[in-house]
Structures are given as structure tokens and as C-alpha cells.
Amino acid sequence: MCGCAEPVLHKSGGTTFPALPRGCPLAVVATHPGPGYVEVAQITIEGDRSFGAGNYENPQRFADVVRDRVCAAGGDTLVTEVNGFGMITRGIVLRRTAPAAPPPVPGGSCEPLCSPGFLCQAGTCIPQCNPSCADGQTCGNDRLCHPGAAP
């Protein structure tokens, strides 16, 4: 047995999940992905790290080393934490419990962006000029009607 550093999985208390198959797909992220995930375990790197043994800088390489243990614990997501030297110091194993929700669309966002002189309200571009401009005029950023194209 070498005195090398080894990633060790410590199950978290609380909810347990059935094991996933060896080599299961594993999302590797730098921060907690948000609601809908439950912590399953933590991975610490224990043992002698002298001369770089057991140090991990590449999150994907770290995930490849611990993947089977994460899958056996029922995890499908690995959060990597790094120190000031960019070395991974800990992994947090999560399990997604809710389907991934589509990103929320802010109430004031329009696709495509509104033209000058229009305001986005609930996803709809609305002219800012009141009353509306006559034919051949455009509502400008100053909320005034101008002949032709917006200033």
C-alpha cells in the first residue's frame, strides 16, 4: 500500500439513493447547480500529497478517478471545490431530484431586442411614444416622434 493521497467518499446523512451503473454519466460543475439537487456524499483527498501525488487540477480527470464511487453512491453530479492554487480540495456528490427547469425568461426581455423607441413589456415590444407616431414617423429614444428612421 502506498502512502499516496486517495480520494475517499464519505456518505452524507439523510436521503439515500440506489446505485447507478458503473461509468454512469456524471455532470461536473464548479458550483452547486441550485434547487432540485440533494447532497449524497462528499469526497475528500486523504493521505500524503507530497510532490504532487494525489493532487488534481483538472475537474474531468478527478471525475474520471472517482466516477465509479459516485455512481455507486447514487450520485449524478459532482461539484469540485478548489483552493487558491487551483487544486481540487473536495468533491460534493449530488443527485438531481427534480427535472431540469428551462431557464426563466425575465419579464422584461424580448427576443429579438426591441428597436429604439420601443419598450419591452412582458415579452412584447411596445412603442414608447404616446400617442403613437403617424405614418412615416418613428418613435425615438427621446419618446418623441421623428420623421423617417429613429435618431
CA 15, distance to chain mean position in Å, is: 23
CB-count exposure of residue 80 (10 Å: 0-12, 13-18, 19+): buried
pLDDT at res. 11:
84
pLDDT digits (tens, 9 = 90+) for 98-122: 875 555 445 557 878 877 667 787 7
Q: Which sign, positive or negative, has the C-alpha torsion 73, 79, 81, 82?
A: positive
- Residue 151 or 113, more confident: 113
Domains in the chain, ordered, with CATH? 6-96 (3.30.1660), 102-151 (no CATH)
Please enumerate in sequence order all residues whose Cβ is within 8 A of that of 111, keeping only pairs 6 or more positions apart, or say none: 123
How far CA 94 is from CA of 13, 100, 123, in Å, comes to: 13, 14, 35
3-state DSSP of 49-87: CHHHCCCCCCHHHHHHHHHHHHHHCCCCEEEEEECCCCC
> Averaged over 118-140, what is the pLDDT?
76
> Averaged over 133-141, what is the pLDDT?
77
- Cell 467518499, residue? 9
**Is the pLDDT score of 85 beyond 80?**
yes
Point out the least confidently predicted range of 6-15, 71-80, 99-108: 99-108
Q: Which of 57-61, 111-115, 129-133 holds the top average pLDDT?
A: 57-61
Instruction: Retrieve residue 104's grid coordinates.
Output: 426563466
Average pLDDT, the chain: 81
> Averaged over 70-97, what is the pLDDT?
92
**Does the reported pTM lie above 0.85?**
no
Residue 20 has what DSSP assignment? P
**Is the pLDDT score of 26 beyond 60?**
yes
**Is the pLDDT score of 86 beyond 60?**
yes
